[in-house]
Amino acid sequence: MITAVDEIEYSVKSFLREIDGCKIIVGLSGGADSVGLLAVLMSCGAHCIAAHCNFGLRGKESDRDMNHAIAVADRLGVRYETVHFDVRAYMESHKCSLETACRELRYSWFENIRKAHSAHWIAVAHHRDDNNETLLLNLFRGTGVSGLRGMRPINGKIIRPLLKFTRKEIESYVAAKKLDFVTDSSNLVSDVSRNKIRNIIMPCIRESFPNADHTINLTADNLYSADSFISEMIDKEKALWTDDNGNINVIKMMQKRESAMFILYELLKPKGINAEQVREIAAASQAGVSGRRFYGKDGNCWLLNRGVLEPLDAADNYDTEIITEIVSISEFTPGKDPYIEFFDLSILEGEPLCLRHWQQGDRIKPFGMKGSRLVSDIMNDAKIGIAQKKRTWILAKGAEILWVEGLRRGSAYPVHPKSAEIVRVHIEPARNSK
């Protein structure tokens, strides 16, 4: 008869045969899942180093967990590493949540000691219940397919050998090995989203749908396959709508693809742009808005220019604004400041002013000249290089270019000598936004 112990150890042995190298840093909290993970890896012949993080968030209980983790490592004959973190200080300096701070501190330290010990992998004790909770959590937050596919057994240097087993099965394995574990009291309080799913929502689901854990996990597996297929198709779509400079033709994509919103989200998600921002980009593109910037959570910045979304270099990632003032004709001093230009009052009527960067094909009707000129020719005459071209601001009103910052004013909305009042337009100089 195959026991739960046999099944888990057979599965983990098979898993270890599939990966290259078995020197492993094992996250050991002292709870049942991590104790079971360390025990089964050792039983299967892996070379393990236990790693315990003391976040100091639960006072004496945190120290109890650390001491228990050390005792388990000693009993199993495993070398161990421990660390103390000041989580509150990290939250303050990085402006992040408690959950994010603990995760970032934990995995950063795991990676550091992995390198220090020349280990191959970092093993964490996520199991099937965790995976199902993650799927539901992402579902309630509003996510794409990738958020519903759940965690994977191998992700970079992170491995999850117990991902196919339930929490109860792992606890049974720990009991069979006659090992003790501690319980994190904070997991029993339904005060955060994951605990509410674990302690309230999932028990209700299981009561009505006894096979729910299996079917949710099956759905995650199906969505993983779907996501892999989507990734292949997105690469093909990217080639259609993105040029060599990384500019995304949003408006053209929306005209040609019913699934444009989904494609755009998949293209921008790796850049830290969320689903709500994608909706705003699409709406702004359809409304003909230009000059608006969108910032990813990792600091990436995108500029919307006439339906085309342009990535900005770090040097371009600054806040710039148009300051318009109605002043008397006596303050008309053209050419004194490259960031200031003057226009007739009628410039404030109709379509709003917008700032954007130069694009291929831009033309301006220069003041005092007949006809129009390519803005690129004006920049070439001024011996402006490619990098500076990308940083030069253009003031526009609808499709008409009114001013190329520091270089040439257009012929529209000229100042009349008899005007009592005029508009002074000031492009605020570059200021780093970080």
pLDDT single digits (tens) 52-65:
999 999 999 999 99
Q: Which domains does the chain have, with CATH numbers?
A: 4-220 (3.40.50.620), 242-312 (no CATH), 318-432 (3.50.40.10)
Strands 158-159 and 121-123: parallel
DSSP string, 207-226: HH-TTHHHHHHHHHHHHHHH
* Structure tokens, 159: 């491995």
- The amino acid at 276: E
CB-CB contact of 308 with 251 (8 Å): yes
**pLDDT at 388 (0 to 100):** 67
In this structure, is the dihedral angle defined by the CA atoms of residues 294, 300, 301 and 305, taken in order, positive or negative?
negative
**pLDDT at 376 (0 to 100):** 87
**pLDDT at 315 (0 to 100):** 45
* Structure tokens, 259: 């699934």
Q: DSSP secondary-structure letter at 19?
A: S
**pLDDT at 430 (0 to 100):** 47
In this prediction, the residues of the chain whose per-residue pLDDT falls under 50 are: 314-315, 317, 430-434
DSSP string, 287-315: TT--SEEEE-TTS-EEEEETTEEEEEPGG
- pTM of the predicted model as reported, rounded to 2 decimal places: 0.63
Q: DSSP secondary-structure letter at 352?
A: P
- The amino acid at 368: G
**pLDDT at 61 (0 to 100):** 95
pLDDT single digits (tens) 361-390:
889 999 888 889 998 889 888 877 666 677
> What's the rounded Cα separation, in Å, for the pair 164 and 127?
6
**pLDDT at 316 (0 to 100):** 52
For residue 57, CA distances in Å to 54, 86, 99, 102, 112 come to 8, 9, 12, 10, 23
Nearest CA to 292 among 261, 319, 269, 262?
319
> What's the rounded Cα separation, in Å, for the pair 270 and 259?
18
